[in-house]
């Protein structure tokens, strides 16, 4: 039947810019709007990266169940409410034929060209908007300490390319000791020469108070040699500078061999900043553990999820340092060809897939520790590329979020060093590694307190905590 009503019909057609099915739906809607005086169409165009989180939020708000591009619904103009769900392009075509006697007019091959044109138009719109606001928007102020070191050297590339903070301009501040000013100048020149579109300006500093002024994101990298007490004196100064001049919402990431106890000094000297503003990188050891499991299963390291680092965030040979507890009981593997397999979203237990309890019990921890040490020996130092990658991914998850619909998910458990609030019966204030879930929108995280530990794991964890507390207590002279 064909119905022509005097009631305004407003349809929303949403989809991915380069999707041929979206092109088919929007052209049909345009045809209806041209020929029917009471037909109105509103279009929502998203990039591939934007689509999944937008769709999830929109379906939650409207109580729809929908998976693919496009999504079409009719707004209830007279009554309001969540709207009447139509479906995808096939359902919309059937709807238009039934109620309006109208069908798509282009050939199937033509919709691909329309989709490409939509994608190009969206890219141009995004670029024009960015150019229009570029000179008026205030760039994000990011500080990197020990900026002449190897880890920072690689980290700067990730920051400049937009891999860490996404599509926003950066004011990059490089901080190191006064005797390294000439090296800082060289690093700054190289960074500028990279011609990163998102890099507004690069500045160098040898004074933390000047560098940290109004800073919004700070990377404090413990890469230098020296005793724990020598480093603690520097972290004390960093903490005071953060307290005095940093943005109140600053996110501070620390990384390095003694980053856990040193972060306690940092936070203690910045008492007005919430303790959740300070996080410590445990991701390097987590990635090293995942790589060993991935090798055994013949998959990529990124296919291994939910490996937990409890307590310490480093494996060392020093008896004065606590050794970590690497927990893989809940670990999952994606893209594994086994007895049961499925799409990329399907996962199964990594432990069960290994079928090698002897290796897990006797060799796994040693292998992780040995490989980390071997990399350092081969490079005549510490791992650099993997360390910088761990720092970048840690901050990206915290700043942008673990995006649902991408290779990672906000359901994934990752390991993060935090200043304890008593989680898992730990001392309040001890800095150690916990299992965490980052939000998909960025900015927040929650400790996975629902996880249970075996009695043996509890015993090992408590031993680690006591050793970390001893290290922290040895640094009390550097705390107010």
End-to-end Cα separation, the chain, in angstroms: 80
Report the SS3 class of residue 280. strand
Residue 101 pLDDT:
85
Q: How many Cα atoms sit within 13 Å of 342 on the Cβ side?
A: 7
- Reference 69, options 117, 119, 25; nearest CA is 25
Name the most confidently modeled range: 120-124, 164-168, 399-403.
Answer: 164-168
- Those residues whose C-beta lies under 8 Å from the C-beta of residue 128, and which sit 6 or more positions away, are none
Categorize the per-residue pLDDT at 114 as very low, low, confident or very high, splitting at 50, 70 and 90. low
Mean pLDDT of the chain: 87
Percent of the chain with pLDDT over 70: 86
Looking at residue 382, its pLDDT comes to: 72
266-298: per-residue pLDDT in tens?
Answer: 999 999 999 999 999 999 999 999 999 999 999
Q: Give the DSSP letter of residue 441.
A: S
- pLDDT, residue 136, reads 53
Residues forming a β-bridge with 437? 446
Whole-angstrom Cα distance, residue 345 to residue 375?
32
Out of 95-99, 259-263, 374-378, least confident range: 374-378
Which positions ≥6 away from 121 have C-beta within 8 Å? 17
- When pLDDT is cut at 50, 70 and 90, the band that residue 444 belongs to is confident
Q: Which residues of 425-451 are buried (b: 16+ CB within 10 A; e: fewer)?
A: ebeeebbbbbbbbbebebeebebbeeb
Q: Phi, psi at residue 222, to the nearest 5°?
A: -90, 85
Query: H or E stretch including 446?
Result: strand 445-447
pTM (global) more than 0.85: no
What's residue 320's pLDDT? 53
Asked if the bond preceding 385 is cis, omega within 30° of 0, the reply is no
User: pLDDT tens for residues 311-334?
Assistant: 988 765 555 566 789 999 999 999
Distance, CA of 211 to CA of 198 (rounded, Å)? 20
Give the integer Cα–Cα distance in Å for 2 and 134: 51
Averaged pLDDT, 58-67: 90
- Report the C-alpha gap between 235 and 256 in whole angstroms: 13
Residues linked to residue 281 through DSSP beta bridges, in sequence order: 416
Q: Quote the CA–CA distance of 220 and 269 in Å, as a whole number.
A: 15
- Tell me how far apart the alpha carbons of residues 241 and 262 are, in angstroms, rounded to a whole number: 15
What's phi and psi for 430, nearest 5 deg?
Answer: -70, 140
Coil, helix or strand for 72? strand
């Amino acid at each position: 039947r064909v119905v022509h009503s005097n009631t305004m019909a407003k349809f929303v057609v949403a989809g991915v810019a380069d999707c041929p099915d979206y092109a088919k739906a929007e052209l049909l809607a345009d045809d209806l709007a041209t020929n029917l005086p009471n037909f109105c169409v509103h279009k929502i165009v998203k990039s591939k990266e934007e689509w999944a989180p937008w769709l999830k939020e929109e379906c939650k708000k409207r109580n729809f169940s929908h998976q693919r591009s496009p999504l079409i619904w009719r707004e209830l103009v007279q009554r309001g409410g969540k709207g009447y769900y139509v479906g995808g392009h096939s359902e919309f075509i059937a709807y238009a034929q039934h109620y309006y006697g109208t069908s798509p007019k282009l050939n199937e091959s033509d919709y691909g060209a329309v989709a490409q044109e939509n994608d190009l138009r969206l890219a141009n719109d995004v670029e024009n908007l960015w150019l229009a606001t570029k000179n008026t928007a205030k760039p994000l102020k990011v500080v990197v300490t020990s900026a002449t070191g190897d880890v920072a050297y690689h980290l700067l590339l990730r920051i400049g390319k937009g891999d860490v903070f996404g599509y926003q301009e950066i004011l990059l501040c490089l901080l190191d000791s006064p005797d390294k000013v000439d090296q800082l100048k060289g690093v700054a020149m190289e960074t500028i020469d990279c011609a990163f579109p998102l890099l507004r300006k690069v500045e160098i500093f040898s004074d933390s108070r000047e560098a940290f002024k109004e800073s919004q994101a700070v990377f404090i990298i413990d890469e230098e040699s020296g005793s724990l007490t020598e480093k603690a004196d520097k972290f004390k100064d960093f903490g005071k500078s953060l307290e005095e001049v940093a943005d109140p919402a600053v996110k501070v990431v620390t990384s390095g061999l003694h980053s856990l106890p040193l972060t306690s000094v940092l936070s203690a000297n910045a008492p007005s900043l919430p303790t959740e503003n300070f996080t410590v990188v445990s991701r390097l050891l987590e990635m090293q553990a995942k790589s060993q499991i991935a090798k055994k299963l013949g998959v990529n390291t990124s296919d291994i999820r939910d490996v937990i680092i409890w307590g310490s965030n480093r494996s060392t040979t020093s008896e004065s340092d606590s050794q970590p507890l690497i927990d893989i009981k809940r670990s999952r593997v994606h893209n594994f060809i086994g007895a049961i397999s499925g799409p990329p979203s399907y996962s199964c237990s990594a432990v069960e897939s290994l079928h090698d309890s002897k290796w897990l019990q006797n060799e796994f921890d040693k292998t992780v520790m040995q490989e980390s040490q071997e990399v350092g020996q081969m490079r005549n130092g510490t791992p650099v590329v993997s360390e910088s990658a761990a720092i970048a991914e840690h901050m990206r998850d915290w700043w942008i979020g673990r995006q649902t619909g991408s290779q990672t998910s906000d359901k994934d458990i990752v390991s993060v060093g935090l200043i304890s609030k008593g989680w898992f019966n730990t001392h309040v204030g001890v800095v150690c590694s916990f299992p965490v879930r980052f939000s998909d929108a960025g900015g927040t995280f929650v400790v996975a307190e629902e996880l249970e530990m075996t009695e043996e794991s509890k015993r090992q964890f408590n031993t680690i905590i006591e050793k970390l507390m001893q290290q922290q207590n040895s640094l009390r002279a550097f705390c107010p």
